[in-house]
């Protein structure tokens, strides 16, 4: 007597596997986009904090010298990278690239914050008004926006932060 057993196949069909892989792909894409946005917002938050730190140091400099640092009509790139102005000290020009250039002068920022990405257009840039050293214009950009500030270019003056071109 021969017994025939039915063998039941186990496993997934090709269609089931493709659907599962598709769903996993969609979830991975959504997660990657969300993480990218969160990182950009974190960098923007850091930028805003650093700009306020620089603004406070400029106010300290102005309190000591009755004027803001003179950029000599040039736009200075602030930060701690090569060729950038890395310190703010109590010297005639204020911004210096090395500690040696400050000498024994009082230092308002020992290490200038540099943009988290460290590339244009996100550098912090400073320019004084050579005719009126009681004001300055500093610019920076935001990638995604933070708080009530949207993505874009912003200007910093002694009066505060505003969208570029706004008066």
**Whether pLDDT at 77 is above 70:** yes
- Domain positions in the chain are 44-163
Q: How far from each other are the two terminal CA atoms of the chain, in whole angstroms?
A: 99
pLDDT cut 70: percent of the chain above it: 93
pTM of the model: 0.78
Mean pLDDT of the chain: 87
51 Rama sector, left if φ>0, alpha if ψ -120 to 50, beta otherwise: alpha
Judge contact between 72 and 79, C-beta under 8 A. Answer: no
* pLDDT reported for residue 65: 93
Residue ranges with strand state E in 52-120: 76-78, 87-89, 95-96, 107-109
* pLDDT reported for residue 33: 77
DSSP class of residue 6 equals: P
How many C-beta neighbours within 10 Å does residue 114 have?
Answer: 18
- The three-state secondary structure class of 77 is strand
Average pLDDT over residues 82-91: 87
Average pLDDT over residues 33-62: 90
pLDDT cut 90: percent of the chain above it: 47
* pLDDT reported for residue 7: 64
**Whether pLDDT at 107 is above 90:** yes
**Whether pLDDT at 167 is above 70:** no
Average pLDDT over residues 41-46: 90
Which helix (H) or strand (E) segment holds residue 83: the answer is: none
* pLDDT reported for residue 105: 92
**Whether pLDDT at 58 is above 80:** yes
Band of residue 31 on the pLDDT scale cut at 50, 70, 90 = confident
**Whether pLDDT at 6 is above 80:** no
**Whether pLDDT at 56 is above 70:** yes
């Amino acid at each position: 007597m021969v017994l025939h057993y039915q063998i039941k196949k186990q496993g997934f069909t090709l269609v089931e596997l493709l659907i599962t892989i598709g769903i996993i792909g969609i979830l991975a894409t959504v997660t990657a986009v969300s993480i990218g946005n969160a990182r950009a917002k974190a960098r923007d938050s850091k930028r805003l904090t650093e700009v306020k730190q620089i603004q406070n140091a400029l106010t300290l400099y102005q309190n000591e010298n009755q004027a803001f640092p003179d950029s000599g009509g040039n736009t200075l790139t602030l930060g701690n990278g090569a060729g950038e102005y890395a310190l703010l000290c109590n010297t005639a020009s204020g911004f210096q690239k090395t500690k040696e250039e400050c000498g024994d002068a009082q230092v308002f920022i020992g290490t200038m914050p540099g943009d988290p990405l460290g590339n244009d257009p996100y550098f912090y840039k400073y320019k004084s008004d050579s005719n009126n050293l009681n004001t300055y214009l500093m610019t920076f950009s935001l990638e995604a926006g933070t708080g009530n500030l949207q993505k874009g270019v912003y200007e910093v003056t002694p009066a505060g932060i505003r969208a570029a071109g706004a008066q």
